[in-house]
Amino acid sequence: MMRLSHILLCVLCTTLLLYASGAAFGAERFPPPQFESGHELPLTITPPPRSPTYELIDMAVLLGALSLASWLALKKRSRRGIFYLTIFSLVYFGFWRKGCVCPIGAIQNVTLALFDSGYVIPVSVIFFFALPLVFTLFFGRTFCAAVCPLGAIQDLVLIHPLQLPRWLEYPLGLLGYVYLGAAVLFAATGSAFIICQYDPFVGFFRLSGSLEILIMGVCFLLIGLFIGRPYCRFFCPYGAILRILSWFSKWRVTTTPDECIQCRLCENACPFGAIQAPYTAPAPSNYRTGRIKLLVLTILFPFVIIAFGWAGTQLAPTFSRMNSRVRLAERIHLEETGRVEDTIDESDAFRATGQPIGELYDEAILIGKQFTRGSMFFGVFVGLVAMLKLTALTTRRTRINFEPDRSRCFACGRCFDYCPRERARGELTCGSKPHPTG
Amino acid sequence: MDQKETSQYNSNPDNAIRDQVRYRTAVRTAIVAGLFSAIVCVLLLSNHFRTSFSGPLESEELVRLKTLLLENTKDENLKNRIRELDSHLRNEYFQRQNYSRWGSYLLIGGIIIFLISVAKAIGYRKIFSAPQSIFNYQIATERNANLAFRSVIIMIAVLGAVTLLTITSSQNLTFTAGVEPEQITNIWPRFRGPDGLGISTYKNIPTRWNGSTGENILWKTKIPLPGENSPIIWGNKIFLTGANEKKREVYCLDAESGKLLWQKAVPTLPQAASEPPDVMEDTGFAAPTAVTDGQRIYAIFANGDVICLNFTGKIIWAGNLGIPDSIYGYATSLVMYQNLLIIKYDQATDEDGLSKLLALEGSSGKTVWEVKRPVANSWSTPIIINADTPEKARLITCADPLVIAYAPDTGAEIWRVKCMYGDVAPSPVYANGLVYVIRPNEELIAIRTNGHNDVTDSHIAWRGEEGIPDIASPLTNGKIVLLLSGGLITCYDAENGTHLWEKELEMDFNASPSLVGNRIYLMNTKGIMLIIEAGREFREITKCPLGENVNACPAFADGRIYLRGKKHLFCISEK
């Protein structure tokens, strides 16, 4: 079976890659024909904004999906229900709504609205950003479980999960925070919405996109065949926020519906490595080592934060080149000083506006200064996360039972079927054996 | 590790048989779906490459027919063939796109079935691992946490290394200079240097050379067309212009080797007059010195052509102001203030109302402001004083009959002094709150610059009447003012106008004097540089022959002098 599945997976890999190249058609354009018969080409029109009614429907669907996901995960404890809701979310929020607006990208809209008074953020975007956060505070990551289309597409391709060692899982978990910091920085400076720009799956939802991003998406899905939800676990910036909030959630998913009988059948149930083993108290030698580590980290804490902040400011010129005005200013400067001989469409278009080049330079320098400040905060944020991560790894929490890690549990419900208590409950409530799904 | 594995549903034989059947079905479905997806994908890929590499307008046949049409533009049959082919190719293209879209849907369907089948197949053979009989979770948790701690530190180190690599390889945002920062000091961007005062910031300028023997002549390069303008320098590039009746050119030379990097001819501009202007032979067609802001070079010629080029010689913009009514030919050099190119375009008489002052945006050539000047034609070049403080910056212009100070950013007149007369060629100089202007052959006049409106009666500090030139501009270091008139050198006290000394030499000077430290460089028309001390009495230091007649002013850089002779540009550097 293993050999056969590997062969089939290789076929799938090739297929997905080829699909990526096929889906990249949307970008191709060529000039329209020149008519001499008097035929007038239709004017290019800008599509009207989405109707408010549809926005209301979207918000209602989100609210309903989150409520249903929370009920299915916490009350009904139905993996099957979560699975079907996942498919619905993929179809509705992914393929039907083409992945936009999504709470992950809404981070940038909210950030831009906070830093740019001229940007009016739609109510629906605020709703999409805030509602999953509120639900997480009450019910854990039920948004990730069955509502997020990005999570859904990865969840559905997870056919042969492999456990990732903890020593690899923890450091990779830092990347999501780095991505979050960078996304906030670029959005705050009005430079780029990198979450949307580098969304690996939106190309599938829209059947269009740049070849590079489609290939990136295919790679994520191929990895996702074996490593559960790689984007959600290691890159998702919204997931990074949800990880923090889920620590404070009032209710959360548990493997067992009532009491743990210490059967240990669920120890490898989670494909995302979220189930933690019991832990009572450290050995005296480990306790001493842990205290020394904690002391060293406490002493180093301010220095590391300052170092990261400094490194951030040094990255400012590189970051600021993500801004189109800065790039344009640099290009114009290259052309003006003769370092390049040709011009590009953007520089020609700028010159056609008649705006003085000096103004563009001043604007670019101003943006550069914003990046210097913003990059410092970005560096401090990453340093803070890294130090807190290390601090968390030196401290131990006692656990009597096997239980899901609050921050890493996606509330997908896969572990339910591994618990004999759950199976007994299922037989009592339904009179039949629950079927493992997915 | 002691690990037992048990199948979930193998206890009941009926269940086992049923699952075996389902398993096989799932596997076969997966194979079929996989093969189907692969075939669809191959077809899509083939279609993709055909579509992307042969767009409807790239058809060889279409291009060939269009080429034929260029040769025979009235061939209606050919036109119809082109139309039919164009229509056919476009239809085919969109059909392929349609094909691709539907293929994508089929592919998605195939992949979904494939995934479900594989997942089902795996589900039917799913092995649940039994709990380990003896296992110390305490030790495992400790070990995992320690490993994770180390790996997080490694990750931080990796992030740090990437950051350092990025920092070292990235450049800061710079938009001001056209050359590398270390080269910016090597600038002589306009006539008579950075402030138009003829003062070098370098002290290490050669005092010994001989053009005939080649002593300390680093290189000399023949300039294709004649011109009385002076060289300007920015970094490792030297710019100058040349022109005759028919051609006008801008030259760029490499400062190290003297190699002519490029020469750019001014194209025939639609506004330009077809006839060349009447100019005096000594003035020529390229008397005005060019100017650079470090990003572009600007040049003006006797026929009114103004051109802007970038440092590679590409024309950014060009225009023509009309042939100026100038009795000797136009000779006023260009001036830059911030992003403005300032052109003093004096012509005819003060009553004709043709003289004007223009400020063009450097990057586009668009007129930012323009003011009429109630003056006659003149040849002096303006200077800008207090350029570092915009509210106090003044553009000082001299022409018969007025010295006028303007606000260089708006063109608004600030003050004027009615004290000039005749053909004004010497340019003004400035030091310590006094502007020194020359009323040709008659007076040296010192004017206080803090006035408003007409300050003729209130702001003239002093006048001098000895040794007044008609071509060469004065030189001041704030202590003395030096004049060159014919072969007569005259020195005044800069503060009160006291006549300090004068020296009659058998020489003739057209080039304006220059100051290097406490040395004054005086280039006569025969190409002999007389170097004297800048003091309250005449003291000659040395004479250096160039071996070629000179009218242009020298340009100074780090350890070098660039001198334009009648035919060559010389670079002098002590080896």
Is A304 a domain residue?
A: yes
Q: How many CB pairs under 8 A join A and B?
A: 225
Neighbours of A377 (CB within 10 A): 16
Percent of chain B with pLDDT over 70: 93
Given an 8 Å threshold on Cβ–Cβ distance, is B173 in contact with A12? no
B76 CB burial (10 A radius; 0-12, 13-18, 19+):
exposed
CA distance, residue B96 to nearest chain A CA (Å): 10
Nearest residue of B to residue A276, measured between CA atoms = B141
Per-residue pLDDT at B564: 95
Domain borders along chain B are: 5-129, 136-170
Contact criterion met (CB < 8 Å) for A326 and B173:
yes
The dihedrals phi and psi of B320, each to the nearest 5 degrees, come to: -130, 135
Helix axis angle for B137-169 and A284-320, nearest 10°, is 20
CB contact under 8 A, B34 and A265: no
- In this predicted structure, what is the pLDDT of residue A28? 46
Look up residue B305 and give its DSSP letter: E
- Evaluate whether residue A245 is within a structural domain: yes
Interface check for A400 against chain B (CB to CB < 8 A): the answer is no
Round to the nearest angstrom and report the end-to-end CA distance of chain B: 82
pLDDT of B571 higher than 50: yes
Q: How far is A146 from chain B (nearest CA, A)?
A: 18
For B492-503, what is the mean pLDDT?
A: 94
Nearest C-alpha in A relative to B45: A22
Do A134 and A271 fall into the same domain? yes
Q: Please determine, for residue B127, whether its predicted confidence score (pLDDT) is greater than 70.
A: no
From chain B, the residues in CB contact with A96 under 8 A are none
* Nearest CB partner across the interface for A364, out of B31, B149, B175: B175
Interchain pair B170, A436: CB under 8 A:
no
Residues A66, A210, single domain; the answer is: yes
Within 8 A of A313 by CB-CB distance, chain B residues are none
Cβ(B395)–Cβ(B387) below 8 Å: no
Cα–chain center distance at B233: 13
Evaluate the omega torsion of the peptide bond into residue B516 and state whether it is cis, within 30 degrees of 0: no
- Compare CB distances from A311 to B27, B163, B361 and report the shortest one's residue: B163
> Are A147 and A261 in a shared domain?
yes
| Residues A239 and A124 reside in one and the same domain | yes
Interface probe with A: pick from B41, B43, B86, B262, most Cβ of A within 10 Å: B41
Tens-place pLDDT, residues B341-399? 999 999 999 889 899 999 998 888 889 999 999 999 999 999 999 877 878 899 999 99
Average pLDDT over residues B3-21: 62
Q: Is residue A2 part of a domain?
A: no
Cβ neighbours of A105 (radius 10 Å): 24
Strand pairing class (B560-564; B555-557): antiparallel
Which residue did the predictor score with more confidence, B105 or A194?
A: A194
Tell whether A347 is covered by a domain: yes
User: Do A236 and A253 lie in a common domain?
Assistant: yes
Q: Is residue A13 part of a domain?
A: no
Judged by CB atoms closer than 8 Å, whether chains meet at B148 and A171 is answered as yes
- Any B CB within 8 A of A37 CB: no
Closest partner residue to A21 (CB to CB) among B48, B154, B164 is B48
> What number of other Cβ atoms are within 10 A of residue A43's Cβ?
5
pLDDT at A100: 86
What integer pLDDT is reported at residue B178 of this predicted model?
45
Q: Which of A5, A18, A189, A210 to mutate to test the interface with B (most CBs of B within 10 A)?
A: A18
Considering only CB atoms, which chain B residues are within 8 Å of A15? 34, 37-38, 41, 107, 110-111, 114
| The token pair that represents B493 in the structure block | 């006290």
Cα B286 from Cα B330, distance rounded (Å): 8
Strands B199-200 and B475-476: what pairing? unpaired
Contact B339 A356 (CB under 8 A): yes
Window 299-328 of A: residues touching B by CB (8 A cutoff) are 311, 314-315, 317-318, 320, 326
Chain A residues 16-35 within an 8 A CB cutoff of chain B? 16, 18-19, 21-25, 28, 30-31, 33
Between residues 100 and 159 of chain A, which touch chain B (CB distance below 8 Å)?
156-157, 159
Mean pLDDT confidence for B205-233: 94
Contacts of B170 in chain A (CB under 8 A): 315, 317-318
Q: Would you say the C-alpha torsion A104, A107, A108, A109 has a positive or negative sign?
A: positive
Q: Which chain B residues are closer than 8 Å to A386 by Cβ? A: 152, 156, 159
Q: Taking residues B52-75, what's their average pLDDT?
A: 79
The whole-angstrom separation of Cα B488 and Cα B476 is 17
Cβ of A174 within 8 Å of Cβ of B152? The answer is yes
Q: Is A372 on the interface with B (CB under 8 A)?
A: no
CB contact under 8 A, A25 and B100: yes
A350 touches A327 (CB < 8 A)? no
Average pLDDT on B101-124 reads 85
- Calculate mean pLDDT across residues B518-546: 94
Per DSSP, the three-state class of A127 is helix
Which among A11, A267, A335 has CB closest to B310? A335
Could you tell me the residue range of the domain that residue A77 belongs to?
55-279+398-430
Same domain assignment for residues A247 and A321: no
> For position A2, what pLDDT does the model report?
43
> Is position A23 within any domain?
no
Same domain, A59 and A143: yes
Nearest to A150 by CA among A213, A232, A209: A232
β-strands B480-485, B488-493 pairing: antiparallel
Q: Do B173 and A368 lie within an 8 Å CB cutoff? A: yes
* Residue A248 Cα to chain centre, angstroms: 20
| CB of B19 closer than 8 Å to CB of B137 | no
The pLDDT of residue A16 is 54
A5 and B132 within 8 Å at the Cβ level: the answer is no
Q: For residue range B136-188, what is the model confidence (pLDDT) as tens digits?
A: 777 778 888 888 889 889 988 998 888 888 887 777 777 654 444 444 457 89
How high is the pLDDT of residue B560? 94
User: Quick one: which of B274, B271, B313 has its CA closest to B290?
Assistant: B313
A361 is a domain residue: yes
What was the pLDDT predicted at B177? Answer: 44
CB-based contact B140 A14, cutoff 8 Å: no
Query: Would strands B514-516 and B499-504 be described as parallel, antiparallel, or unpaired?
Result: unpaired
Angstrom distances, CA of residue A330 to CA of A374, A418, B172, B180: 20, 59, 11, 14
Residue A12 to residue B35, Cβ atoms within 8 A? no
Identify whether residues A59 and A174 lie together within a single domain. Answer: yes
A372, A402: one domain: no
Comparing A428-432, B212-216, B382-386, B428-432, the range with the smallest average pLDDT is: A428-432
**pLDDT value of position B183:** 44
Distance CA B83, CA B70 (A): 15
Count: domains in chain A: 2
As given in the structure block, the two tokens for residue A241 are 């926020």
| Closest approach of B83 to chain A, Cα-based (Å) | 9
Kindly report the average pLDDT of chain B as a whole number.
88
CB B342 within 8 Å of CB B335? yes
Digit-by-digit pLDDT tens for chain A (438 residues) are 444 445 555 555 555 555 554 444 444 456 666 666 677 777 777 777 778 899 999 999 999 999 999 999 999 999 999 999 999 999 999 999 998 889 999 999 999 999 998 899 999 999 999 999 999 999 999 999 999 999 999 998 898 889 888 889 989 999 999 999 999 999 999 999 999 999 999 988 887 778 788 889 989 998 998 999 999 999 999 999 999 999 999 998 999 888 888 888 888 889 998 998 888 777 777 778 888 889 999 999 999 999 999 999 999 999 999 999 999 999 988 887 767 777 888 998 998 887 778 788 889 989 999 999 999 999 999 999 999 999 988 887 788 888 899 899 999 999 998 888 888 877 655 544 444 443
Residues A238 and A332 in one domain: no
At A36 the pLDDT is 63
pLDDT for position B57: 73
Answer whether residue B4 shows pLDDT above 60: no
Do residues A294 and A206 share a domain? no
Query: Minimal Cα–Cα distance from A127 to chain B, Å?
Result: 31
Nearest residue, CB atoms, B97 vs list A21, A25, A315: A25
Length of chain B: 575
Q: Judge if ipTM > 0.85.
A: no
* In-domain check, residue A107: yes
Same domain as A371, residue A229: no
DSSP state of A279: B
The CA distance from A408 to the nearest CA of chain B, in Å, is 15
